[in-house]
Amino acid sequence: MSIEVTEPGPAGLGAVVTGFDPDAPAPEAGDALRAAFRASPMLCIRGCAATPESFLRVARVFGTPQRELMGVLRDGAVAEISVIERKQGISTATGKSATFGGHWHTDDSYMAVPCAITLLYGEVVPPKGGDTSFTNMHAAYEALPAGTRARIADLSAVHTYQSRRNLSPVPERSAEEEARTPPVTHPLVRTHPETGRKALYINPNRIDRVADMPLAEGDALLDELIAHATQPAFVHVHAWEPGDIVIWDNRCTMHRASPHEGDHPRRLLRILIEGTVPV
């Protein structure tokens, strides 16, 4: 069976790969998946009956899987796999009914070296709802007025685990996890290390403030950038099917999960790929 790849959607995201078997990948499959991901930095490989081991093998196509820092999210069996799960209407990570990751964010920006890429495998997905939305931060950056691009060119923001502006409940951390992740400062505009293309790098959940700017002024700027970046023109909504592997580039996208009705379980396996310091 050979791999087929659709075009990305209007937001430049959401290409779908079919014909890929994670247990018996064709020799040219790695190159084909990487090319598809370059063209569509949020990609879905549809119809994968993956095991944790074969999911890990797929992740290695995109880089080096890293161990999940947060103990509460770890799967246990495979050190690189974490679990995003909702049971009886409650997130297992937070113990709360609010949707885990339900507000726009990019993964792990509160770390000095955030992960580059995230992969989710849809093990159990609800029949309706529970979509994941993605926004294209290259397109959002490029569509900013020139004056705003000039204004933010040299600005940075302070990212922290439990930020002043955070809207989502976050899992509790151990003292060791807390000690390993002091607040960090990252540029508001980052250059993709592989393509050289610029992207807005904001995280509504983790940005505490714009560095070296009065709070009110920084908040107004962040609100403006978030509203701009999350306009429908830049957004692709992924409706899950069981067996989807969804892969996104945290260096040039944000994402958020949607709630789903009722108590249907939702269980996604997650692998994070090592990144580099944002510049």
* Binding residues for ligand SIN (CB under 6 A): 84, 101, 132, 255, 257, 268
Nearer to ligand SIN, 84 or 225 (CB): 84
Q: Are 102 and 168 in contact (CB under 8 A)?
A: yes
**Minimum distance of ligand SIN from residue 54's CB (angstroms):** 21
CA angle 157, 238, 20 (to 5 degrees): 110
**Minimum distance of ligand SIN from residue 131's CB (angstroms):** 8
Amino acid at residue number 8: P
Distance CA 262, CA 279 (A): 43
**Minimum distance of ligand SIN from residue 84's CB (angstroms):** 5
Nearer to ligand SIN, 47 or 171 (CB): 171
Nearer to ligand SIN, 56 or 271 (CB): 271
**Minimum distance of ligand SIN from residue 137's CB (angstroms):** 15
Nearer to ligand SIN, 36 or 272 (CB): 272
Q: List the beta strands (DSSP E) in 160-274.
A: 184-187, 189-191, 198-200, 207-210, 235-238, 245-249, 253-257, 266-273
**Minimum distance of ligand SIN from residue 94's CB (angstroms):** 12
What is the number of other CB atoms lying within 10 angstroms of the CB of residue 12?
20
- Comparing CA positions, the residue from 148, 79, 75, 70 lying closest to residue 110 is 70
Nearer to ligand SIN, 159 or 255 (CB): 255
Distance CA 174, CA 18 (A): 41
Alpha helices in the chain (DSSP H): 29-39, 52-60, 137-142, 146-152, 175-179, 215-229
Distance CA 258, CA 246 (A): 15
**Minimum distance of ligand SIN from residue 153's CB (angstroms):** 29
Q: What are phi and psi of 30, to 5 degrees?
A: -60, -50
Amino acid at residue number 254: M
The residue nearest ligand SIN at its CB is: 101
**Minimum distance of ligand SIN from residue 132's CB (angstroms):** 4
Nearer to ligand SIN, 132 or 163 (CB): 132
Tokens of 103: 């507000």
Nearer to ligand SIN, 200 or 257 (CB): 257
Distance CA 79, CA 82 (A): 8
